Structure 1
Amino acid sequence: MTTEQAQAGTSGKRPDGRRSAAAARRRAREQEIVAATRRLFDERGVRDAQIEDIASAVGINRAIVYRHFSGKEEIFALTLVLYLDELRGELERAADGVDSAPDRLAAIVTAFVDYGVEHPAFVDCAQALMRRTGTELLDEISESALFRLGRGISSCLRQLSAALEHGVATGDFHVTDPALLANTLYASGLGALQLARLGILVDEAAPGVPTVGQISPEQVRHHLVTSALALATHRPA
């Protein structure tokens, strides 16, 4: 055996190849776990998806799940990334080819509402993570997972802020901070989607006398589109 061959056997390409293969297997297992979580979310909802259920769906025990993820919050975060990637695609398709700034913003908000109505687990998952502060998230999930989550959210928000910037450029909108308004629309939209799911509208028939009515997803969609356009076109005093 030559010196070069001996070195390859201890620190050359073969060990690197083994490490690469192990890393690939690890990534594949992580993707499998996240995909199983997504399926459980869609089937049962976020609350009813437990670590044991996720592990069972993949055919492993819960201890192996914790080898790949820091905890349930990290799995939730990466599952939300799957939803966000889909949502970004829906928003892009909605905006594609729409030249009018108001029409483009309305199309994007409509696509957001339609996606949330079709995927209620997305709304639950997003709201569950939004209830935590940035510091808490850093303590509960890895930096790489937090980066992927941030990238998923920002890519969706960028569709909104770009539409707002386009409207400012055309003179249709009067927005001083498109990023702030985009974040506000996203957060308020998640809350309104819960209202659409419940289908219940609480009012007061008389002072101190509550009354309960009904609200449809179509009404929520109309309200969010109308509100977005009103906020974008409002001239600051």
Structure 2
Amino acid sequence: MPGRPPRRRLSPEERRRQIVAAAKALFSGEGIEHVSMRKIAKEVGITQAAIYQHFENKEAILFVIIEDFFSDLLEALSRAIESEAQPLERLRRAMRAYIDYGLSHPEAYRLVFMTPMSGLVRAGMAVPRTEEAKARPSKGSLAFGVLDGAVREAVNRGMTRHGDTDLLAEAIWAGGHGIVSLMITHNEFPWTDPEGLIDLEIDLLFRGLLHEGCPMRSKMFPTV
């Protein structure tokens, strides 16, 4: 139209980011199972054929969303532990950073951790102990590796009452996920003291983690 500047053509990378942003909003608002590639294309303002030039299917878009989430989470975890050498304190800081990040990104957390997804997407989130994840670690693998590495060091130093590092890492992650998912799902519940609840949850996990004779137990819990 006369007087209207020509519309700038987006680069492939810009278009991909636009598609991912639209899909993320639709997935969060309507649920993954109710969102089609056609609906995403319509939201972006392109044809269904055009969207397949950038992503082969819905799961490919999901994988990008997941990798972006874990990339930011990994950065938050790395900042939290970068100046700490003691494995238990690193673990505590990592747990707190994980919980804080999840609570500050509730929609993304709900999408990544609280939505059923297919095996293809889950494969991209494999923990570092699998051979495939070791060879080609995803951001999810690297993020879990921060927790897993601190747990393994604590076990190797004889600090824990259990020696199964895989089981311990999963149990600690489950504890952190539990409080994040509960507080996201029931965000209107009149929690007595949200910050105190998080600190107490972490303390309870650590009291169960450390064996009675561990010197760090008395340092972390002087009244126990």
Shorter-chain TM-score bucket reads: 0.5 to 0.7
Amino acid at match of 2:28: V
Which runs of 5 or more structure 2 residues have no equivalent in the other structure?
1-10, 127-137, 213-224
Correspondence for 2:205:
228
The one-letter code of the counterpart of 2:205 is A
| Cα distance in 2, alignment partners of residues 224 and 153 from structure 1 | 24
Label 1:128 to 1:61 Cα distance change in 2 as closer, same or farther (>3 A).
farther
CA distance in 2, matches of 1:224, 1:169: 24
CA contact (8 A) 2:19 2:44 kept: yes
Identity, % of aligned pairs? 25
Q: Which residue of 2 aligns with 1:3?
A: none
In 1: Cα distance, 2:109 partner to 2:75 partner = 17
Higher relative helix content: 1
The match for 2:96 is 110
**Count of matched residue positions in the alignment of Structure 1 and Structure 2:** 186
Q: Report what 1:173 is aligned to.
A: 160
| Structure 1 residues 123-146: Cα deviation after superposition (integer angstroms, max 9, x where no partner) | 2112345x34xxx423xx5xxxx6
For residues 1-237 of structure 1, the aligned pairs below 5 Å read 29-38=15-24, 40=25, 46-48=28-30, 50=35, 54-55=40-41, 58-129=44-115, 131-132=116-117, 136-138=118-120, 148-150=124-126, 151-197=138-184, 198-199=186-187, 214=191, 216-234=193-211
Structure 1 residue runs of 5 or longer lacking an equivalent are 1-24, 202-212
- Asked if 2 retains the 8 angstrom alpha-carbon contact of 1:101 and 1:170, the reply is no
Structure 1 residues 188 and 64: CA distance shift in structure 2, 3 A: farther
Q: Please state whether the residue corresponding to 2:71 is helix, strand or coil.
A: helix
Aligned-partner SS, 1:47: helix
Q: 1:214 to 1:59 in 2, by over 3 A?
A: same
**CA RMSD, 1 decimal:** 3.2
| 8 Å contact kept, 1:76–1:125 | no
Task: State whether residues 19 and 40 of structure 2, in contact with CA within 8 Å, keep that contact through their aligned partners in structure 1.
Answer: yes
What do the CA deviations read for 1:186-225 (whole angstroms, capped 9, x no partner)? 3442332122121466xxxxxxxxxxx5355424422442
Taking structure 1 as the reference length, the TM-score comes to 0.63
Q: Scaled by the length of structure 2, what TM-score is found?
A: 0.66
Closer, same or farther: CA 74–192 of 1 in aligned 2, 3 Å: farther
Does the 8 A contact of 2:23 with 2:40 survive in 1?
yes
Alpha-carbon contact 1:164-1:232 (below 8 Å) kept? no
Q: Which one has the bigger strand percentage? A: 1
